[in-house]
């Protein structure tokens, strides 16, 4: 699955990022690296951007970009789904 499908309040692990190099570098600098935990905090209305947290950094990402970030979801008890 990808980041745009994650439910608010849910946590997942970044599996892969599939974008051009410029975007990937920016994402990396903001903490989006393979294997890191990512939390979806909220979605804006009308297909607006997503509000996510990685570590202590909070970021807004547009849905189009979020679709390129692939995740492995963790179930509520912490195990990999």
Partner 1 sequence: MKQVAVLGMPNTGKSTFFNRLTGADASIGNWPGITVDLMMAQVKLDSIEAEIVDLPGIYDLRGYSEDEEVVRTFIDKNPLHLVLIILNATQLDRQLSLALQIKRLQVPAILFLNMADEAPKFGVEVDAEKLSERLGMPVVPISAKYGQGYDRAYQTILNLLKEQEEAIQAQPLDQCMRCDSEIAGEMGSLLQDAVTVPRNIKDNLTIRLDRILLHPVFGLPLFFLTMFLMFQLVYAIGTPIQGLMGEITDWLQTAALEPLLAGAPEMLRGFLIDGLYGGLTVVLSFVPIIILFFFAMAIVEDSGYLSRSAFLMDAFMAKLGLDGRSFVMSLMGFGCNVPAIMGTRVMRSPGLRMLTMLVIPFSLCAARLNVFIFMTAALFSATVAPIVLFSLYLFSFVAAILTAAIFQGKYKNSEPLILELPPYRFPTLKQMLLRSWSEVKHFWRWSYKFIIFGVVAIWFLNNFPPGVETASPETFSGIIGQWTQPILDPIGINPQLAIALIFGFIAKEIVIGGLAVIYGQSDGALMGAIAAQIDWVQAYSFMLFTLLYVPCLSTVAVLRSESKSWKFTAFSVIWSLVLAWVASFIFYQGARFLGF
CB 4 within 8 A of CB 63: yes
By C-beta, is 27 or 71 nearer to partner 1? 27
Q: What is residue 34's three-state secondary structure?
A: coil
| Residue with the two structure tokens 């509000």 | 51
Q: How far is CA 16 from CA 6, 24, 47, 62, in A?
A: 15, 10, 23, 17
Nearer to partner 1, 18 or 58 (CB): 58
With respect to partner 1, which residue has the nearer C-beta, 5 or 63? 63
Q: What minimum distance in Å lies between the beta carbon of 11 and partner 1?
A: 9
Task: Point out which residues bind partner 1 (CB under 8 A).
Answer: 21-23, 25-31, 33, 37, 41-42, 44-49, 51, 53-62, 65
């Amino acid at each position: 699955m990808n980041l745009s499908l994650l439910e608010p309040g849910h946590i997942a692990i970044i599996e892969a990022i599939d974008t051009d190099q410029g975007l990937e570098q920016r994402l990396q600098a903001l903490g989006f690296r393979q294997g890191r935990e990512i939390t979806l905090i909220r979605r804006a209305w009308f297909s607006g951007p997503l509000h996510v947290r990685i570590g202590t950094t909070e970021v807004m990402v547009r849905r189009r970009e979020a679709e390129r970030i692939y995740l492995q979801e963790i179930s509520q008890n912490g195990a990999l789904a």
